[in-house]
Structure 1
């Protein structure tokens, strides 16, 4: 089966992915910071017994080899830095065949159920909820009639639910005051927005995470309804800004679009920042390319964007020549994907 993020998602010109995370804790165990290694192993074994092995593969993090870890980072089961692999003997990760569904044990809370899909797809909530309810039927989950589901992180108490949209906003970011205005608008919905990366090569990626905040005193339906209204506003705003930029600077934008594609298609060395900047211009102008000379579908643009964003982090200390080598490998991968896309478009 194809990896989840290469599927064609709704509104994928703006929304890269939609994710639902639901956290739960098992009654009878302290919260993670207060569990010793023996208790943590007992927790892992308890949860492992409740997981359907006909659906999920994986297991103890300590048994995972380097290739598996890299693949799980690319598939966004693990974070970009792979920080969840610290103290691997205290953690376990399970995932289905395309990694659209995953269960983490010992990462933040006792259990984190995650469902993810390409594009704008709030059905991920129902998928995560179904799995969470399955685990709840087999495990004694910590719950309070007054506070809802109990968590070590007070920001997750109540529903234990977090919805996240990953969005690419090259036009709003290039519009004066655009991100500031959007941040204020997101706050009005009582959600939050933050850059995909605060520092490093992806600090100026113009990719952002829009996430729910409230979990206590609200219902899941209220969170979902508010999120859907918000993401609809964001999509409309980004498309309007693209229209404004292209209509006011048609030739300049068209020129940068062509140059950006050429940089991606023919470079032998390319940094992550160069690649993500070029992909941003492809995203901004793609729907206005009347000539149609550049053969690059939204699926191709999004796959490349996801591959660059979720490229496993390089070591802090890089051996001599490793930077050039990584840029060459990255460029080769991009060229291969674009060459294949051109071939498919011409057939």
Structure 2
């Protein structure tokens, strides 16, 4: 994938269909927080020190690309306008925090977009692997391979008692943050979501919105992740998250089945109304689009609608976001109304092309 395709094409690997529990689990992510030894953490480092981190990580390109199946791009965030950085956030390539500050920041991205390494985010580097469906083990294996390559080349901040040293104390130890992005419309519709979220939190996990910490759960999409890394092995963290997510998936499937059995006409009507609005609307907001896409995706999974696909609706999640829309347009800056019209037009075309 070229730099242009990375920014212009909505599809990335985590949107692929056919993965385990892909009807409910959109993607699995493993993120490893690491820091270079002898250099202050990004919040305390000066410009020269941050630049040194960028240079050192850029020098890892040859090592990362030594495997014939790997092909990484180095992207200097200072050379990307804010709009393009925010597009990368909407595609889950980088975090919102990484996009806001571009000075002495960079990313290394694998061509298939499964791996991205954020340089000078909260830590010197954050190795992220994103896989479709419930695929935590494969994501960890991939992220761990990258971690080994980096650690063979660079001395990392590590303490025998505390493990990997990180900017945030909650990441001490393994530095591992595992998360799963789930679509839970039936639990929301049946009013069970608060009980499920509270139960998940009591099990030592956290629940966040579409783009992680500090974001809303729009489109009935939530991220479930571990809270602590110190005192746990990587396997324990992954096993615990996997077990809890499987229970959440079972609850969502049960809720969907109950909705379909108890309120068939109402549910079918809701799904087709959502589909009809998306297919024929001439103006639509981002929030409304995601809410309607959520209903349509559930309808697809329940067999109410036979048009479209997982990839189709996952792509629309990105296409309907404000920054991606702006990037697609020929206008220097879209007004709110122009954005709503363009969003509706693109959704109509996408759905029509799949009929």
Q: What TM-score does the superposition give when structure 2 sets the normalisation length? A: 0.86
Q: How big is the alpha-carbon RMSD for the aligned residues of Structure 1 and Structure 2? A: 2.6
* 2:54 paired with 1:44: yes
* 2:336 paired with 1:323: yes
For 1:311 and 1:248, the matched residues in 2 are separated by: 40
Which residue in 1 is equivalent to 2:295?
A: 281
Cα deviations across residues 157-185 of structure 1 (Å, max 9, x unaligned)? 10000011111111101112x12211232
Greater CA drift, 1-10 or 11-20: 1-10
Which residue in 2 is equivalent to 1:126?
A: 141
Shift of the 232–203 alpha-carbon distance from structure 1 to 2, 3 Å rule, reads closer
Which residue in 2 is equivalent to 1:61?
A: 77
Aligned residues: 333
**Is the CA contact 2:219–2:293 (under 8 Å) kept in the aligned structure 1?**
no
- Map of 1:189-228 to 2, 5 A cutoff? 189-196=203-210, 204-228=218-242
Shift of the 197–205 alpha-carbon distance from structure 1 to 2, 3 Å rule, reads farther
Q: What TM-score does the superposition give when structure 1 sets the normalisation length? A: 0.88
Which residue in 1 is equivalent to 2:250?
A: 236
Greater CA drift, 8-17 or 106-115: 8-17
For 2:123 and 2:287, the matched residues in 1 are separated by: 33
For 1:306 and 1:149, the matched residues in 2 are separated by: 34
For 1:338 and 1:309, the matched residues in 2 are separated by: 17
Which residue in 2 is equivalent to 1:11?
A: 21
Shift of the 313–191 alpha-carbon distance from structure 1 to 2, 3 Å rule, reads farther
For 1:337 and 1:5, the matched residues in 2 are separated by: 19
Shift of the 132–309 alpha-carbon distance from structure 1 to 2, 3 Å rule, reads farther
Shift of the 311–170 alpha-carbon distance from structure 1 to 2, 3 Å rule, reads farther
Shift of the 313–297 alpha-carbon distance from structure 1 to 2, 3 Å rule, reads closer
Which runs of 5 or more structure 1 residues have no equivalent in the other structure?
Answer: 343-347
Which residue in 2 is equivalent to 1:248?
A: 262
**Is the CA contact 2:205–2:226 (under 8 Å) kept in the aligned structure 1?**
yes
**Is the CA contact 2:325–2:343 (under 8 Å) kept in the aligned structure 1?**
no
Shift of the 41–197 alpha-carbon distance from structure 1 to 2, 3 Å rule, reads closer
For 1:303 and 1:320, the matched residues in 2 are separated by: 23
- SS, match of residue 33 in structure 1: coil
- SS, match of residue 94 in structure 1: strand
For 1:116 and 1:18, the matched residues in 2 are separated by: 6
Deviation at 1:241, TM superposition (A): 0.5
**Is the CA contact 1:201–1:273 (under 8 Å) kept in the aligned structure 2?**
no
**Is the CA contact 1:24–1:112 (under 8 Å) kept in the aligned structure 2?**
yes
**Is the CA contact 2:209–2:215 (under 8 Å) kept in the aligned structure 1?**
no
For 2:210 and 2:99, the matched residues in 1 are separated by: 20
Which runs of 5 or more structure 2 residues have no equivalent in the other structure?
Answer: 2-10, 66-70, 327-331
